[in-house]
Amino acid sequence: MKRIATVQDISCVGRCSLTVALPIISAMGVEACPLPTALLSAHTLFPNPSICDLTDKIQGITDHWKRAGIKFDGIYTGYLGSLSQLDIISDFIDEFRGDGFVFIDPVMGDHGRLYSGFKPEYVARMAEFCGKGDIIVPNITEACLMLGIDYIGDSYTRDDLRDILRRLTGLGTSKAILTGVSMQPGRLGAAAYDSVNDEYFLCMGEKVEGRFHGTGDIFASVCAGALAKGETLGQAVESAVSFTCECIKLTIGDCEDSRFGVNFEKALHILTN
């Protein structure tokens, strides 16, 4: 069985980061090994969460993995909380990447704004960190921040998307996936670029009005699992768009508060079959 290390926080409430990555990757038949970076009572859209930073626990875990000779087929990084974590995880990638893939979701913002707690210096360092990835998966907000482009919402032409994707691979990664793109009303999906073969992919699904928190983490988890299973970039993007759209559909009418995320649990059977 393939094995992925996934490096991100545990937010106890709010269905994001490890609480979606572990079940999704496991349902896909890929072993998911968490490297938790912080423990939060809930993600940061809930005001004033209790946060236990785990930066000083990371080294002990990875030292043990090294002594035990543990290897990974892929490393998937998500929300990282600080500049020092970027440094430490950068070293972890150097140590453990081996022949596996490095998949980076530069989680730091959405809807044109940085998440609470992130400063402009983090954006510059994240852009540098993305150069360590084989595949990066920013949303439009994160792509615009890292490339210094003005954010104009989710509506772009095919040429705009190609230009952004090419510039993203210029950060040093060979493949880039841009999430949350819309080229026509009622459609939302992802665009991707493989700079090695100069190939573009576009995959759109039905757009449902409203905010669906945590869908970026769901999308990234499916992609990482699919790539570990040997799907091509285009196939992985299709799997992720289709699963994410299904999760959103299963949440319509059950949105007491969008901060609780989407009902992905009801869709996990799609990944197991």
Minimum distance between the CB of residue 75 and ligand PXL, rounded to whole angstroms?
A: 17
User: The tokens 């940085």 sit on which residue?
Assistant: 114
Q: Enter the tokens of residue 36.
A: 């938790």
Of 38-46, 59-67, 150-158, 181-189, the segment contacting ligand PXL by CB under 6 A is: 38-46
Residue with tokens 């912080």: 38
Q: Compute the least distance from the CB of residue 159 to ligand PXL, in Å.
A: 29
Residue 158, Cβ neighbours under 10 Å: how many? 12
**23 is written with which tokens?**
């079940």
Is residue 142 part of the contact set for ligand PXL (CB under 6 A)? no
Binding mask 85-124 for ligand PXL (x = CB under 6 A): ----------------------x-------x---------
Distance CA 85, CA 87 (A): 5
**15 is a contact residue toward ligand PXL (CB under 6 A):** no
Would you list the DSSP string of 44-58?
TTSSS--EEE-HHHH
Beta carbon of residue 9, minimum distance to ligand PXL (angstroms, whole number): 5
Residues 221-260 touching ligand PXL, rule: CB under 6 A, are: none
The Cα 101–Cα 214 span in angstroms is: 23
Instruction: Based on the shown chain and the rule CB under 6 A, indicate whether residue 262 belongs to the binding site for ligand PXL.
Output: no
Q: In the set 133, 189, 205, 214, which binds ligand PXL (CB under 6 A)? A: 214
Residues 112, 154 contacting (CB under 8 angstroms): no
User: In this structure, which long-range contacts are made by residues 49-54, counting pairs with CB atoms below 8 Å and at least 24 apart in sequence?
Assistant: 49/11, 51/81, 53/81, 53/82
- Tokens 């510039």, residue located: 167
x/- track of binding to ligand PXL for residues 164-203 (CB under 6 A): ----------------------------------------
Does position 126 bind ligand PXL by CB under 6 A?
A: no
For the chain, the maximum distance between any two Cα atoms, rounded to a whole number of angstroms, is: 53
Residue 76 near ligand PXL by CB under 6 A: no
Query: Contacting ligand PXL (CB under 6 A), which of 4, 16, 176, 237?
Result: 16
Q: Could you tell me if 229 and 29 are in contact, meaning their C-beta atoms sit under 8 angstroms apart?
A: yes
What residue ranges bind ligand PXL (CB under 6 A)? 9, 11, 16-17, 40, 43-45, 79, 107, 115, 214, 216-217
